[in-house]
Structure formats: structure tokens, C-alpha cells
Structure 1
């Protein structure tokens, strides 16, 4: 693996670890209106990013977006951010939190199969086998819990949201770069959350948060969203969407570690074994210990951007290196 790919691995791993650690903060927002909390989080993240974009020059790539790009961005925010969190909340009404967590942990397998098939090529064996190990590791870390058919259905919807967050972003990432893409989808996500809140809760979808809730929202906006999203998309630029998704397994591992640190859960032998499986699967799928990056990283044709590492824009149009990954963070109970 070359230095650029290794840097991408580190960026994606850190991004997913921030998301996993945020699950502890999410438990502090159980009494805050869902849509209002998401609206505040994404609006704050968008405002935090604006000064980092470099003024009008940093916003210039927006002129390159077509109507199809804007539809894709709206779908990314609706499916991969607002919808993902809503699906997790709905699943946890009748299922234990481990159930949606395990199914979301299968995202690397889905991406490893669907993305190559959509581009007319075979899935890379190393990536597929690594994805299976990552999914098994996520199951070992989180275990399985009580559920019903509705819980399974909403968990599958959360899995679709996780996949959509990554796959839908890739073509737009080439145009906007990590920072501007994150700012745009956060702005759209804030608007969609506000509309959802008005439709469901009326004017009561927002209220003044307590000091604890405000701290949790700041963590989500500044670290899990601004830092996490930008680092994730920067990593996707370097190692491609299929290999970046392998590091989804860092989410349950980081969540288990953070819960153990604050004393709300124990980190035992199953969690340690699962963490080793996640690491082994990610290393296998990424080619971490090989001298050369697997040949499938190089595109067979330039029309397959999602399967390859998106190259940095030499013109500097908002690209600083390209969720959730997180990424979006569910309000876990």
C-alpha cells in the first residue's frame, strides 16, 4: 500500500471512530425532539464550515452543479442523514439497539457487491472477503438482541441509508471536494429536518436545550459531523468507496470502547475478538499489508468513479484533500 492510500485508511478510520464515540453523546439527547436536534446539529455544522471554505472562491464549484447533482445531494441528506437516523430510532422502538447496529455493520458487504455490479465488473475477492470479516466482527462486538419484523424492517432501512450516504456522494465529491460537499449536505439536511419537525411536531420541534443537551449537540455538530464527514470524504478520495466502507466496523468498536470508558458497559472478550475481526477484514480488503494497492483500485474506464480513489482537483476548487459515515449519528438508546 502506498503512502496516499495509507493516509486514506487513517482518515476513514478516524472519521468512523468519531462517529462511534458519539453514541455516548447520543444517549443524552433521548428527550430532545428528534427533528429539532438534527436541524440544530446540521445547521451548526454548516455554519462552522463556511469560514473554512475560502469565501467566494471556495463556493465557486457550486456553479458546476447540474440539476441531477442537486437531486443527488437532496437524496443523500434525506436518505443517508435524516432518514438513517429516523430509521434507527424507529427500529429501536421494538428492537434492541444491537439489531440495527449489526445490520448497518453489513454495509461493507452490500457496497462490495452492488457497486462493482452496477459498474459492470466483478466484485474484488479481497474486498468481499474483508467485508464479510468486518460484518462478523461487528456482530461479535454488538451481539444480537430482541426484535420483531418491524424492527428488522427499519434496521434494513438504516442499512440502506448507510450505503446511500457513501455511494450517493461520490460523483458530487469529484466536483465539490470534502469541505464544500459536507457544508452543502449539512445545509440541506438542516432544512429537511426542520420541514420534518414542522410536519410532525409543529412549532414545538425546537426548544432550548439543557446544558447537557447543548454539549451533546456541540459534539455532534463539531466532531462527528464537521470533522467526521470531512475526514471520511477525504479518505474516500484516496482509497475509493468500496474500501472506505470497510472501516464502518470502527463504529461499534469505538462505541464499545467509549461506553466502557464512561462506565456504562463492559469491554470484554467478545468485543476484543470482534475488534480483531474488524481490523483483519479491513486490512485484507484494503490491501494494507501488501506492497502494491490491489489492481481493482485503478479504474477500467473513467466512467466508474465510485470504485476508485477520487483524485484531488489540481485547480483547488474546494478540494482539500472525500459519513458515515458516518457521517450521520443515530440517537442510540
Structure 2
């Protein structure tokens, strides 16, 4: 694995006062960086590592695989970043299309926010500009959990480069967050919380696993939520009019055992997107990407094969 550097990491409370995501202190940064590097060491070797300037900051992107097909761009969930896709990358790369894994701007990782983001349009802007800097005229965007929210927002606000959107149990996208998800989100970031309780809260997300810290992804998310403070406001669900305005094909995979929202309500509202394939996977938890990596790769490949060529640039 090539050396992993953190360009201009934001550290300290002064960034929070400017509404910019930052690590809480130097110790928090070093703790997260160690877990990040360990987790990246368990991924396939990236074919390319780039940091590109986009609206609102610098974005770290890793490319896995080659090929001439329209690439797939991965957006991780809250408190996470590229290593979240450890189990998914082998199957997704096997399709023969390039896969770009992104460390979200304003989230823990190697990206570095430089200006406040206050709206859904701001989130869409940095993704669109990132795609431009990568010289990708067209891309499929796949987001998991809260990563599904910016994937949908770029299709609403900056759709020119977007060939399709895939969401894996997207949070705050089709249905309101459940009380359990709110408890996890608030409780897991409290400074000084005992690690056992923090792991129990994170276990709720992933279908009740006994100890999230047994998995490198769990340790990464735990560190991201504890050691990093997000600076942008909580996402607002897309309005019905915004959902109806989406003009690209969408695949929405909803976890039947998700704690993020009511799965039936999420599935029903997803169908307001005019070209949306909605599937509820009854036994999946909110950690659907880690539970069903092979099945997701197969489903994504089949879906993308059906996206009209005129949408793919």
C-alpha cells in the first residue's frame, strides 16, 4: 500500500466555530489516522491515489480497477470513509469498470474541508466539481447510509455528470430517522463515553453484533464518530418535488431490519422517484454493505447493465 498522507488535516475547536469539520484535538487525529492506515492496509492496492481541489475543500479519492465503462463512485456513511468498502471492492471491481472510493468532504478521512457547507446544493457542488477534476464526464454514484443522501442530492442539483444513483439503506433520504438512529448518532459522539457502551450503540446499526470493535470497520466508525466533529447541519430529507425531479435511474436497496428508519415508509417514498427500482431485503440490517457484499455486487452490475446508453455519456 502506498504511503497514506493527510493533506492539511483540520484539528481543534477553532474549526468548529467556523462550521468546518475537524478532529477534536491532536490526540484524536493521531488515533483516527492509525486506525485509517491499518484499515487501508486491508484493502486491495489502489491503482491511483489522488487529492483534488473541489468546491469547499480538497477531496481524497482512490481508484480501484481500470476499464472503459462508466465508472462507479462510492460515497461512505457518516463517520466513515474509504476503508468502509473493504468487503465490497473485490466484487465491484470485478465488473470491469473503474471504482472510485471517496473520503467525504467534511467527514473523517483524508479529505480536508476549507469552507462551510450549509445546504444540499453545497454538497452537490463539491461532488460535481470533484468529478470534473477527475475528468469523469459521466459516473454512477453509490452511497451507503447517509452517503446515499449526497448521492441523491447531486442528482437533484447537479445531474449533468450523473448516469445513475444507487443507495444502500440511505439515511435521511426517503424516511425520517428513527429514535434508535438518533440515539446512536448522539450517544456515540459523547466525549468520555465508555467504549463498551459505544460499541453496543454501534452494534444496533449492524443488526446487534456483540462487539463492533472486533471489526476494523467498526473501529474506524467508532473513532470517526468520537474523534471528529462534523461542521455542516443535519441533512434535510429531499422534498417530494425534489424526488420527482430526479431524471436518472435510481436503485434503492432498503434493509428490512434497518434501525435507520421505517423500511416500508422508506420504500414507499422512494417510489416517488420516476425511474426508481426499489427492493426491500428483509433480513438485512443497516450494515447491508458488509452483510451482503457479493449479492450487492451482482445486483449493482445487473442494474448498471440496464442503464440506457444515452445516460452513460
Higher helix share: 1
Q: TM-score, normalised by structure 2?
A: 0.29
Q: TM-score, normalised by structure 1?
A: 0.28
Higher strand share: 2
